[in-house]
Amino acid sequence: MRIGIEAQRIFRKNKHGMDYVVLQEIMQLQKIDTKNEYFIFVAPGPDRCLTDSRNVHIIEIEGGFYPTWEQFKLPKAAEEAGVDILHCTSNTAPLRCPVPLVLTLHDIIFLEPRDKSNRSLYQNLGWLYRRLVVPRILHKCRRIITVSNFERTNIISRLRLPERQVEMIYNGYNEWFRPMQDEECHFAKYIAERGYFFFLGNTDPKKNTERTLIAYSRYLEHSVVKRRLLMADLDRQYLDSIISRNHIDNIRDYIEMPGYIVNTDLPYIYSGAFAFLYTSLRESFGIPLLEAMACGTPVVTSNTSSMPEVAGSGAILVNPESADAICNQLLRLETDAAFYQQQVDLGLTRARNFSWTYTAEQLLNLYERVYRELH
């Protein structure tokens, strides 16, 4: 087979969820499959995190506005490379493509009711682009891959697709996420002392940042220890607006906001944390859950969407719309040593059920089945 994989953004410096997923899938396919030929279509960027090998060829397509790159430059490059299948990995695909398509549709959040408080231009443009493109490409896709059974059921029901067209392949996590002693104190680049709460939040309303900060304020009111909160990917102005609106000035001196945390530092950040908060309202999978559990860090997460499916018994499930429920679990972890150790052990066990190698094996199997159908 000659397989094309769209991985436009993997060379950018500050990567995010979907970038890491496709990067790990490609790296694992490069390890396990020496028979088939792969053509990886990327945009130029400073972080050349993937290299050519005998049967894996990186094809750089010059940049431009994302829709132009995807809708015009990508299908042309795929046709010129002579690929049998083009796997588009980030929710959208070319409307007109001469090559049979496989699409990874991580979620259909863009079709669900929106919180009007989201003022991010980048997120709003992405939302609009997906709403315009996705309904028009679904019938052209030989297979649609999604990342949890929750999302598969949601996609089939909402988009009225045949069950055989939509397949579920779980994400994995990188093997370097494990309990770290951190003798060199990598965490100190972001926060002064170990034993903090760690929260990955941003301005997207589904991340539930505001309610989580209200819960943290209530935790500070009741805790003797008063652990600090490390928050990534959030700006000070947004934080100030939440504090002012909810009258929670008591959190201001306890929060560290270092901005973007590079992926290679994350194992140390998780390992140095007392607990990880992943209190999102809506996720299609939730790789950070696995990363934290694999590092031996207790996780407080939501009892909604895919998170119970992924976390299983390895995390503490709470109602994300209840600040008191979140607060109570933070206090319980702090005051109940047996419960804390139980969550460490359950998380480590649960994380072992997932790996990028297993993800890649399932992906290769899907490519082979689609190829046989075409021939």
Q: Is the pTM of this model over 0.85?
A: yes
Q: Are 1 and 375 in contact (CB under 8 A)?
A: no
Q: Which residues pair with 104 in a beta bridge?
A: 145
Residue 254: per-residue pLDDT: 97
Of 165, 142, 140, the closest CA to residue 152 belongs to 165
Domains annotated on the chain, with CATH: 2-172+355-374 (3.40.50.2000), 186-351 (3.40.50.2000)
Pairing of strands 299-302, 166-168: unpaired
Residue 224, H or E segment? none
Rounded CA separation 2/5 (Å): 10
Residue 73: per-residue pLDDT: 96
Residue 291: per-residue pLDDT: 97
Rounded CA separation 177/217 (Å): 30
Instruction: Please report, for residues 17, 31, 168, 316, the alpha-carbon distance to residue 47 in angstroms, rounded to integers and kept in the order given.
Output: 16, 21, 30, 36
Q: By CB neighbour count within 10 A (0-12 exposed, 13-18 middle, 19+ buried), where does 287 fall?
A: buried
Give the list of residues 6+ apart from residue 113 with CB closer than 8 angstroms, or none: none
Cβ-based neighbour number of residue 242 at 10 Å: 18
Q: How far is CA 126 from the centre of its chain?
A: 16
Residue 119: per-residue pLDDT: 57
Residue 122: per-residue pLDDT: 64
Rounded CA separation 92/341 (Å): 42
Residue 16: per-residue pLDDT: 81
From first CA to last CA, the distance across the chain in angstroms is 11
Residue 34: per-residue pLDDT: 93
pLDDT tens series, the chain, 375 aa = 999 999 999 999 888 889 999 999 999 999 999 999 999 999 999 999 999 999 999 999 997 788 899 999 999 999 999 999 999 999 999 999 999 999 999 999 888 776 555 556 667 777 788 899 999 999 999 999 999 999 999 999 999 999 999 999 999 999 999 999 888 888 999 999 999 999 987 778 889 999 999 999 999 999 999 999 999 877 888 899 999 999 999 999 999 998 888 888 999 999 999 999 999 999 999 999 999 999 999 999 999 999 999 999 999 999 999 999 999 999 999 999 999 999 999 999 999 999 999 999 999 999 999 999 998
Using the Cα atoms of residue 186, residue 188, residue 194 and residue 196 in order, give the sign of their dihedral.
Answer: negative
Q: Are 284 and 290 in contact (CB under 8 A)?
A: no
Q: CA geometry: angle at 225 spanning 307 and 334, to 5°?
A: 40
Cβ-based neighbour number of residue 264 at 10 Å: 10
